[in-house]
Amino acid sequence: MTVRSILSGIGLAFTAYLSARSLLWTLPDTVERGWLLIAALVLYLPIAWLWILLPTRRRVAAPDDADTDTRLAPSRWAVGLALVAAAVVPNAAFAAVNEAGRSQPFVTWVIGGIGALMTVVMVRRRPVIAWIGTGLLAVSAAAWLGPLAALSLGLVGSLVWVAVAQLITTALDRVARDAEQLSELQQAASAWQASQSGRQRERRLHVQRALHVAGPVLGRTIETGGNLRPSEKNAARLAEQSLRDELRSPRLLDEAVRAQIDAARRRGTIVMLFDEGGLEDLPASALRDIRSELAGIVEEAASERLIIRTSPHHEVAVTVVGRTAAAGAGADDDDVDLWREIRRPH
C-alpha cells in the first residue's frame, strides 16, 4: 500500500463524511427546497472524488525549464468542474433553506466540503484555480451568512487548509528539486572520480613504461659515471625520444605504433609527434583504427624526417608529413615526399 493510496482513502472518507452531514436535516421545517440539498450533494461528491482519484499525467520538461514541475494537474474539463462546484454547491445549499436554517450543520457542510475540494486542487498543482474556488466560496458564504458568521462557521478553516496545502506542496517541490540537483551533483562527482581514477591508471602506465624504457639506460649511465659506449648513447637517445612521445602524444600510441616508430628511428629517420587535440572524444574502436593505419604508414615511410600531428579538423584525425633533403647543390628546403591524412572515422 502506497502513501498516495492511503491519502486518497483519507480524502474519500473525509469528503464522504462532510457530504453525509447534508442528509441529517436537524430542522426539517427550515428546508424549503430539499431537492437543492440533494442536488448539491450529487454534484459535489463525484467532482471531489474525481479530483482525488484522477491519475496524474506527466510531461518531459524542456532543457531550459528547470523551475517547472513535471507533474501536471488534471485537464481543463476537471478544472471547470471544480469551479462549477465551488460556485453552485454553496449557493444551492443556502438557497434550499430559509434564513433560520442557513447556520445548521446540514447546510454549512458546504463550507468545509468546498474547502476540502480546493485543498485537493491545490495539492494537484493548480494553485490559481484553488484560490479562485476558495474566493467563490468565501463570497457565497459571506453573501448568505454575513462575513463574520461565515468565518465562524468554517470559512477560516477552509482558508487555512488551502494555504497550508500550498505551503506544503511548495516545500515538497523545493525538496524534490534539491534532491534532483543533489543527484546530479553526485553523478557529476562520480564521473569526475572515475575520470581521475582513469587518469591515475594512465599515469601509472606511463611511469611503468618510462621505467621499462629508460631504467636500464639510466642504470648503465649511473654505473659508468656517464662514460657510455656509442651503442649505449644511441640507446639513451632512443629512450629519450620514446619518453618524449609518451608525454607529447599518448593518444597516438599503442604497441604497434611504438614498435614502428622505434624501427624508423633505428633506420635513421627523425620522427616527431605532436598532439594538437581532436582525439579526445573518439571511442576506443576509432582510436584503434587510426593507430593501426598510422603504424602502416610509418612502416612504409622512407623519408628522412616524419612529422606526425593530430588534427582538430572534423574530417581529418591525423596528418603525416615526410620530408627529405632536396636534391641538388645549394638547396635550402626539404622536399615533401610523403603526405598522408588519416580520416576521422564516422
| Segment 45-74, tens digit of pLDDT | 888 888 888 776 554 444 444 444 444 445
Q: For residues 313 and 278, what is the distance between their CA atoms, to the nearest angstrom?
A: 7
* Number of domains comprising the chain: 2
282 and 174 housed in the same domain: no
Distance, C-alpha 293 to centroid of its chain:
39
Q: For residues 98 and 30, what is the distance between their CA atoms, to the nearest angstrom?
A: 6
pLDDT at 68: 42
Q: What is the domain range of residue 288?
A: 249-346
pLDDT at 64: 44
What is the residue whose three cell numbers read 477552509? 158
Q: In this structure, is residue 155 part of a structural domain?
A: yes
| Segment 27-50, tens digit of pLDDT | 677 777 888 888 888 888 888 888
Radius of gyration of the chain (CA): 41
pTM of the model: 0.54
**Single-letter amino acid code for the residue at 285:** S
157 and 274 housed in the same domain: no
80 and 173 housed in the same domain: yes
Please report, in tens digits, the pLDDT of each residue of the chain (346 residues total).
Answer: 676 677 777 777 777 777 777 777 766 777 778 888 888 888 888 888 888 887 765 544 444 444 444 444 457 788 888 899 889 989 988 888 888 777 888 888 889 889 889 998 888 888 899 899 999 999 998 988 888 988 888 889 889 988 998 898 888 888 888 888 888 888 888 888 887 887 788 777 767 776 776 677 677 677 777 676 777 777 778 888 888 887 778 888 888 998 899 899 888 889 999 888 888 888 888 888 999 999 999 999 888 899 999 888 888 889 999 998 876 545 456 788 889 998 887 7
Q: For residues 344 and 317, what is the distance between their CA atoms, to the nearest angstrom?
A: 5
Q: In this structure, is residue 257 part of a structural domain?
A: yes
CA distances, 197 to each of 38, 113, 193, 239 (Å): 72, 61, 6, 27
Q: In this structure, is residue 29 part of a structural domain?
A: yes
* Cell digits of residue 307: 612529422
Phi, psi (rounded to 5 degrees) for 231: -65, -35
- Residue among 91, 77, 79 at smallest CA distance from 40: 91
Q: In this structure, is residue 263 part of a structural domain?
A: yes
Of 165, 187, 209, which closes a domain? Answer: 187
pLDDT at 71: 46
Q: For residues 317 and 256, what is the distance between their CA atoms, to the nearest angstrom?
A: 18
Residue 45: HSE in the Cβ half-sphere, 13 Å Cα cutoff: 16
Q: In this structure, is residue 19 part of a structural domain?
A: yes
* DSSP helix, strand, coil percent of the chain (3-state; round to 5): 70, 10, 20
Of 187, 221, 237, which closes a domain? Answer: 187
256 and 170 housed in the same domain: no
pLDDT at 56: 62
13 and 140 housed in the same domain: yes
